[in-house]
Amino acid sequence: MVLLENDSFLSELTKFFQKARLNGSVTMTFKRYDGRDRPIPRPDKPPDKLPEPHEHMCLVKAKFRSKKISTVIHQKDINKFQVAYSSLLKRQPGRIEEIKET
């Protein structure tokens, strides 16, 4: 998975949407991210020194066929990213479907 900057992520995502218009689909995932790159240790093992998160971030992943991209959005940049993402979705003439989990 390739970790990109926010602007390059949006441009790659636009390419994914254009390719998916003909055949395929794009899967998006938004998760809260605290900056840790290791799992939290079990209670029975002594913990390593894990830093406490100073700010909350959002990890955004996109997948089209076998290609995967991702970006980390900092708390201060979330409004700017949300506006750019919503305008990108409005420009796409294809339909957007929500997956219903049962």
Total count of domains within the chain = 1
Model-level pTM? Answer: 0.77
CATH number for position 85: 3.30.720.10
Residues 17-28 pLDDT 10s: 989 888 888 999
Residues 66-92 pLDDT 10s: 999 999 999 999 999 999 999 998 887
Residue that the structure tokens 């997948």 belong to: 63
In this structure, what token pair is assigned to residue 22?
């003909």
Residue 24 three-state SS: coil
Give the structural domain span for 62.
Answer: 2-101
d(CA 57, CA 34): 6
Residues 29-70 pLDDT 10s: 999 988 777 777 777 766 666 556 678 899 999 999 999 999
Q: Where are the alpha helices (DSSP H) in the chain?
A: 6-22, 78-91
End-to-end CA gap in the chain: 28
